[in-house]
Amino acid sequence: MSKDPNKKLVVLLTGASTGLGLELTKLITQQPDFHLVATARESSLSRFAENHIFENDQLWLRPMDVLNKHDRDNVLKEIRLKLGGVDILINNAGYMLRAVVEHVAEMERFQQMDTNFRAPMALIRRVLPHMRRSRRGHIINISSVSGMMAMPTMSVYSASKFALEGASESLWYEVRPWNIHVSIVQPGFIHSSSYLNVKSSKECQHSLNDPQDPYYYHYNSMIPFINKVMELTPSTPEQVARTILRLMRKKRPPLRVAATWDAHFFFILRRFLPRSFYHWFLYRSLPHIRQWGSRN
């Protein structure tokens, strides 16, 4: 990708202090041809030291809340002045809000969309001028299986990933004339403790503890099911990180990359099953579905 074989490619990674982002930080810093700028909220920077990750000649650790324009501007300005610009942007920061549509308040909906969609778009806008002038670059957006198929009780999370994928696909056409690549990485279930960090809306939390609530069985069926699948899946953050590293090295990286076995499975399922049967099959496969709707 680099015209100068001696120049390190500058990689900007968001959400680098935990989960997949932390594994990517560990992996990329082992590669001699990259200069990584790993970012996280200021309150999370201590996690790097806890994992024995410290700054060096090819690693910067910088505070950046992706929702904060001032933070974004500061990091990008420093990169521009000292390193020339971003060659590879990895939009990894994000979070998951658990709630059915009826249980998402307006501010909760805004925060989910701002973090998973609007913030990545803001960073992409800022790095594109350098990439256009260089006539090279790679934008990697970390999506999810939920970006191609929606899951009940994860409505707004799915909406944020659908939005990210739609914009990324449009961007793929727009920037291809400048040899800028766009990739969407779709992990499915990953064996990690990340499910413990899923946030729930206020109404979701109330419904979870009220057997008379209409959505009580939705939550108390899906949450144990998702947690169990994440505990049993063989896919790990390390494996997904290695997939992303291979993607970074490709001369012609694909637009979409299924990063776990279940992402491959659901892609095939969605592609080849008749749509009406596909939705019927998934609905009948939901845990304890016969109990759903037993309250009004």
Span 59-86, pLDDT tens digits: 999 999 999 999 999 999 999 999 999 9
Q: Which CATH class is domain 9-291?
A: alpha beta
How many Å apart are CA 88 and CA 7, to the nearest integer?
13
Structure tokens at 258: 């299924």
pLDDT at 98 over 60: yes
pLDDT at 3 over 60: no
Residue 56 CB coordination number (10 Å): 10
Pick the range with the lowest mean pLDDT from 27-31, 107-111, 226-230, 247-251.
Answer: 226-230
Residue 204 CB coordination number (10 Å): 23
Q: What is the mean pLDDT of residues 210-239?
A: 93
Q: What is the mean pLDDT of residues 159-180?
A: 98
Residue 170 makes CB contacts below 8 A (sequence gap 6+) with none
Q: What is the mean pLDDT of residues 247-253?
A: 96
- pTM, two decimal places: 0.94
Tell me whether residue 143 is one of the annotated catalytic residues: yes
pLDDT at 28 over 80: yes
The single residue of 17, 143, 146, 183 carrying the catalytic annotation is: 143
The single residue of 146, 161, 168, 219 carrying the catalytic annotation is: 161
Domain ranges for the chain, please list them: 9-291
pLDDT at position 4: 58
Where residue 192 falls among pLDDT bands split at 50, 70, 90?
confident
How many Å apart are CA 71 and CA 64, to the nearest integer?
5
Where residue 237 falls among pLDDT bands split at 50, 70, 90?
very high
Between these two residues, 63 and 188, which has the higher pLDDT value? 63
Structure tokens at 37: 């700028």
Q: What is the mean pLDDT of residues 176-196?
A: 88
Q: Which amino acid belongs to residue 106?
A: E
pLDDT at position 108: 96
SS3 (DSSP) at 89: strand
Cβ 13 vs Cβ 24: under 8 Å: yes
Pick the range with the lowest mean pLDDT from 97-101, 242-246, 291-295.
Answer: 291-295
How many Å apart are CA 289 and CA 291, to the nearest integer?
5
The single residue of 17, 157, 200, 216 carrying the catalytic annotation is: 157
Where residue 2 falls among pLDDT bands split at 50, 70, 90?
very low
Where residue 1 falls among pLDDT bands split at 50, 70, 90?
low
pLDDT at position 203: 95
Between these two residues, 274 and 296, which has the higher pLDDT value? 274
Sign of CA dihedral 262, 267, 272, 278: positive
Q: How many CA atoms lie within 13 A of 146 on its CB side?
A: 20
Where residue 186 falls among pLDDT bands split at 50, 70, 90?
very high
DSSP per residue, 120-180: HHHHHHHHHHHHHHHT-EEEEEE--GGGTS--TTBHHHHHHHHHHHHHHHHHHHHHGGGTE
Q: What is the mean pLDDT of residues 247-263?
A: 95
pLDDT at position 194: 64
Q: Residue 113's closest CA among 182, 184, 183, 164?
A: 164
